[in-house]
Structure 1
């Protein structure tokens, strides 16, 4: 399990420090920066640093009802608008990642010796933009990052349908641009410049994005899913798209941002499994329950919290059947320690998810494969992928085999089965879980418990993030066009285009 997908040439040990100069340098005022260094800088910002841990922990994970309990989780847990958390993806991805990649592409796109760096940047750019458009809807895309080269300081907000079509064009072009006869990515420390794995990553991303359109544009979805699968997607957990990190605290970007957010004020102690998630794991006799969460005693049996509640609101001790008393502060199950290790890896996309996507495509008749075989391969891969987290005790082969054997794909509930198990497999990646839940309708969320009436949506799940307020000041004309397409207000209840 120590082989992960490319990690986008993220640099470790002594080389990290030198690349902080790149991360904090304006690319357009610094002469020519090596393509590999810029790819590294863009990659660091994906999940390194606490700011990129906040949206997942406080918005997306509570929205899909993985966890609840802390005050910050009111944002995603009971739908309270928070400008800071809401805008972090926008500011970090546009201000750091996209800026570096746009400059890399502008400087090196015509240099054949840099073909593999350019191809990798194109794949990474599609991935980052997919996160942004899936979260916000219509976004600046074609003109983004071109302020220096094209003097485009106020980029147009492109419609999501158009953006998605270009995603497929870009991925196809990048896949064909990778060239074994040209210099490989020299500081790709995970795969040592293995271009086959880059291509598998790109095809797997193509498959994810294709399935996103299963309702909005089913024919396009079918065509792209088939092309992705035929082109060669991930083949094992060794192909996983994983970012690796070192044990550094905030503000050091080498540390896992999600873990850094959990470490802040020991938030992990009150990051509690919800009734939606924990009770599903219990009902399925899922051996991963004890991998996801910690039971603090012998009687509570992984006591979950109701979605929307703060950990202190149901203020009463737990009394077991044997009369044992567990105090309020200790009664709930909380997130397991391997997830808040700052040197832990972050899984962006894995083989398990890909197998579930193939299984769904097979159910829909888009690929000529046995859906159950891919579904069960997804189950198996999902259990093994947890081994990437430091200190995680692997499941035995017998326990994995027993669970997989007990969970064949139901013909009548195939999409539900696949979607629910993908939800489990995606933990702790709330970004993708939120996107997949909006598309499939799974999991069916439990009602939000809102003791003090804080919800700004009446307890109804938002369909998107709202645009940052800074956009109304910095890009007012194009911002207003996008707002008009939403009906005239920055409405986070409006669904994104593909969410039919």
Structure 2
């Protein structure tokens, strides 16, 4: 039997859908911005994406790719490691919040054009493409072009392939607008919560997103998409530049919401998938703590990292755990939230060069990516940063730096999967499905996508058939760019 339908308490409020009911609420809810100045609209939209969309996706995707598991939900309930679809069955903040954010960005673009403040329009285009990518990559087809039209009660679902084209168009337009935002009056300042109106960094972010999206299409045309990704990379981030949200406070309302869930719920524990990946670069007789990241990422039970058993929920609801190891990176509300980083781009570069057959360039990028990943392993808490000695000792392992002639795509994807464990598991979920190179334990397999919210399925007859808890594991639910 497929997995039992259980909605965790911490996502019980995620039941809104993008049907007429949701759209009406967006129009009438006094907590939703109906009209506001650009310097109010922009930070509200950015925060919405960070807190509600990414915050939800990271938790659910971590479960899907077996970096984390949920304990203490219900001792009588059995669910499989990786059952993100199970937990998302009622919908999610990622769905309702995502469409709300897209409406905000649309309004920002309109106002920016009316007021000749092109910098705001640039950010709205780039953030729209980013938000769309978050939704499309976990749901596939989604309603987009007809959402918000007053005469449309049941918006059609646009094809994921078409939305990938739309995302690239939005990024191209955003890049053009970045170049046009030459005066201080044309762009935001501190009301831009990510780059404070730095249009150079927004332009680099757009190119970084283009590279990620091209690389996502590696199964559609490996050579062309590799070349496209590399071309975009030349205009993206340098070594100290990242698309990261840092403006968090140590409060439940304004802190990193992923950490907030870890702190308040206490039900998230370490799963076997991430441990298996870390161990693949150790010697058979070595303890997992020989990897320096394990020492700063996981709590220990009796001096050991103890993972949750597959397919069984058990009671262990304390923050640091007495039965299973917990993720330490979920315990600081002020932790920055990386959304797309220089480190990820180096992994993309390594993969693209390997697909094109240039092993030397691929290996150089791979080594840079691994070193950067180790440096960034402490992004959640700079006080536990790995030392140069620890980093050098790890990369000196022959399994880690194996030489250009022995580098494989599996090595690139596995090290990238490990890196993405901290706050970026939605991207790990994409790589797992795209490549099929990460070994997971769930006997039912990996959900091909998240199911649409129940309300969306029941109220919108245009919802695709591969949409619910039973169908998302079937082959016909696989996204167009995925192997799994």
**Fold match (TM-score > 0.5):** yes
Does structure 2 conserve the Cα–Cα contact (< 8 Å) formed by 1:273 and 1:334? yes
Distance 1:466 1:331, change over 3 A: closer
Q: 1:466, 1:499 → 2: CA distance?
A: 16
Deviations 1:205-231 (A, max 9, x none): 11111111000244652353133123x
Q: 1:384, 1:257 → 2: CA distance?
A: 23
Q: Provide the residue aligned with 1:234 in structure 2.
A: 237
1:405 maps to 2:396:
yes
SS in 2 for 1:347: strand
Distance 1:348 1:81, change over 3 A: same
Q: CA deviation at 1:103?
A: 1.4
- The partner residue of 2:354 within 355, 360, 363 is 363
Q: Provide the residue aligned with 2:368 in structure 1.
A: 377
Gaps of 5+ in 1: 1-22, 314-328, 449-458
For 1:46-65, list aligned pairs within 5 A.
46-48=49-51, 53-57=55-59, 59-65=60-66
- The partner residue of 1:496 within 457, 461, 479 is 479
TM-score by length of 2: 0.80
For 1:7-18, list aligned pairs within 5 A.
none
Q: CA deviation at 1:243?
A: 4.3
Distance 1:473 1:283, change over 3 A: closer
For 1:369-448, list aligned pairs within 5 A.
370-390=361-381, 392-406=383-397, 407-408=400-401, 411-428=405-422, 429-448=424-443
Count of residues in Structure 1 that have an aligned counterpart in Structure 2:
429
1:469 maps to 2:454:
yes
- The partner residue of 2:212 within 208, 213, 219 is 208
Distance 1:425 1:217, change over 3 A: same
Q: Provide the residue aligned with 1:344 in structure 2.
A: 335
Does structure 2 conserve the Cα–Cα contact (< 8 Å) formed by 1:83 and 1:469? no
For 1:66-105, list aligned pairs within 5 A.
66-71=67-72, 74=79, 77-78=82-83, 81-82=86-87, 86-94=91-99, 96-105=100-109
Deviations 1:287-337 (A, max 9, x none): 101121011333xx2122333332459xxxxxxxxxxxxxxx72432211x
Deviations 1:435-483 (A, max 9, x none): 11100113111245xxxxxxxxxx222101111122234433x32xx33
Q: CA deviation at 1:343?
A: 2.2
Distance 1:177 1:487, change over 3 A: closer
Q: CA deviation at 1:397?
A: 0.8
SS in 2 for 1:348: strand
Gaps of 5+ in 2: 1-28, 282-289
The alignment yields a C-alpha RMSD, in angstroms, of 2.9
Q: Provide the residue aligned with 2:5 in structure 1.
A: none
Does structure 2 conserve the Cα–Cα contact (< 8 Å) formed by 1:53 and 1:261? no
Does structure 1 conserve the Cα–Cα contact (< 8 Å) formed by 2:347 and 2:369? yes
For 1:86-485, list aligned pairs within 5 A.
86-94=91-99, 96-109=100-113, 111=115, 113-144=116-147, 146-147=148-149, 151-178=151-178, 179-182=180-183, 183-187=186-190, 188=192, 191-218=195-222, 221-230=225-234, 232-249=235-252, 252=253, 254-267=254-267, 271-284=268-281, 285-298=290-303, 301-312=304-315, 330-336=322-328, 338-365=329-356, 370-390=361-381, 392-406=383-397, 407-408=400-401, 411-428=405-422, 429-448=424-443, 459-476=444-461, 478-479=462-463, 482-483=464-465
TM-score by length of 1: 0.78
Deviations 1:331-379 (A, max 9, x none): 432211x432222221111111111001111111188971111111111
Distance 1:434 1:392, change over 3 A: farther
SS in 1 for 2:245: strand
Once the two structures are overlaid, the 10-residue window that deviates more, 33-42 or 351-360, is 33-42
SS in 2 for 1:68: strand
User: Would you identify which runs of 4 or more consecutive aligned residues in structure 1 move more than 6 Å?
Assistant: 366-369, 487-490
Q: 2:130, 2:246 → 1: CA distance?
A: 14
Once the two structures are overlaid, the 10-residue window that deviates more, 439-448 or 374-383, is 439-448
Deviations 1:402-456 (A, max 9, x none): 22233225544521011001001111322111011100113111245xxxxxxxx
Q: Provide the residue aligned with 1:319 in structure 2.
A: none
Q: CA deviation at 1:177?
A: 1.3
Q: CA deviation at 1:168?
A: 1.4
Does structure 2 conserve the Cα–Cα contact (< 8 Å) formed by 1:214 and 1:222? yes
